[in-house]
């Protein structure tokens, strides 16, 4: 009996130790799995942190580059604005406008037509001289041709026929909206001054119009105003030139 009881105790003790060993093995497995998970998580976290730091460094470098480029662009823009302002001021100072441009265009037109530049320079230089005039103005009138009228009495002569004056105007429109044969003095007209030999000059615009023509050593100064209906009144005075 004593032997059987001892065997029973030994078996029970072995079962207890075996159970404890299983529990320890299970706990060891769980611990190993936990350590592996922790180690793996730490590695992944460390890798993510490293990648984020690299991204931050790259973004920081990119931002610094963009800031530098932006500053450069601002400087370039400011320089371009200054140059544009300089060119604008130079253009306004050097490029003729208004009446000066008209005079410059006329000089260029005459030079292209074959008038010697030295003669143009002489004429412009002499323009400031006050010539002695006859102070005996002669006034003549003629009918201004329009798209509806091309009849007689449409020109006048001055300087003993050395200068023939003609004109062309826009047709007047009556209150009913119908086009009339006579010209409208409120609209621009074109006047032509023709010398013997065929050389001619023109002046255009709204009345009154002023123009000068050289005939030999004399300058004829013309003024044109609206006369009676359909007529243009032209006054000329002879002055010494230059």
CA-CA distance, 201 to 195, in Å (whole number)?
Answer: 9
At 97, is the secondary structure helix, strand, or coil? coil
Q: Are 139 and 219 contained in the same domain?
A: yes
Q: Are 87 and 21 contained in the same domain?
A: yes
Q: Name the token pair of 139.
A: 């006034």
Residue % of the chain over a pLDDT of 90: 41
Q: What is the pLDDT of residue 209?
A: 95
Q: Are 226 and 157 contained in the same domain?
A: yes
Averaged over 158-171, what is the pLDDT? 96
Domain that holds residue 120: 99-128
Q: Are 224 and 147 contained in the same domain?
A: yes
Listed in sequence order, the DSSP H helices in the chain are 2-94, 98-112, 117-126
Q: Are 7 and 58 contained in the same domain?
A: yes
Q: Are 120 and 180 contained in the same domain?
A: no
Q: Are 155 and 67 contained in the same domain?
A: no
Q: What band does 5 get if pLDDT is binned at 50, 70 and 90? A: low
Contact 200, 192 (CB under 8 A): yes
Q: What is the pLDDT of residue 146?
A: 96
Q: Are 68 and 159 contained in the same domain?
A: no
**Nearest partner of 148 among 175, 184, 176, judged by Cα:** 184
**Nearest partner of 236 among 84, 92, 134, judged by Cα:** 134
Contact 235, 138 (CB under 8 A): yes
Domain count, the chain: 3
Q: What is the pLDDT of residue 24?
A: 80
Q: Are 67 and 157 contained in the same domain?
A: no
Q: Are 180 and 120 contained in the same domain?
A: no
Q: Are 80 and 58 contained in the same domain?
A: yes
Q: Are 13 and 91 contained in the same domain?
A: yes
């Amino acid at each position: 009996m004593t032997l059987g009881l001892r065997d029973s105790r030994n078996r029970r003790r072995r079962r207890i130790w075996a159970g404890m060993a299983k529990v320890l093995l299970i706990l060891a497995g769980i611990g190993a799995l936990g350590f592996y998970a922790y180690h793996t998580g730490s590695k992944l976290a460390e890798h993510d942190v490293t990648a984020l730091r690299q991204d931050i460094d790259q973004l920081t470098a990119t931002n610094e580059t963009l800031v530098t480029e932006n500053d450069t662009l601002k400087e370039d823009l400011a320089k371009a604005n200054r140059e544009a302002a300089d060119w604008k001021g130079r253009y306004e100072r050097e490029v003729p406008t208004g009446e000066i441009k008209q005079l410059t265009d006329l000089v260029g037109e005459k030079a292209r037509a074959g008038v010697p530049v030295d003669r143009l320079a002489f004429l412009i230089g002499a323009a400031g001289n006050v010539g002695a005039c006859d102070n005996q103005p002669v006034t003549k009138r003629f009918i201004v041709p329009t798209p509806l009228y091309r009849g007689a009495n449409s020109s006048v002569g001055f300087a003993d026929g050395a200068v023939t004056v003609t004109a062309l105007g826009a047709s007047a429109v009556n209150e009913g909206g119908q086009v009339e044969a006579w010209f409208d003095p409120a609209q621009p007209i074109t006047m032509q001054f023709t010398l013997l030999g065929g050389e001619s000059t023109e002046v255009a615009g709204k009345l009154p119009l002023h123009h000068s023509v050289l005939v030999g050593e004399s300058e004829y100064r013309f003024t044109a105003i609206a006369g009676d209906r359909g007529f243009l009144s032209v006054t000329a005075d002879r002055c010494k030139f230059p």
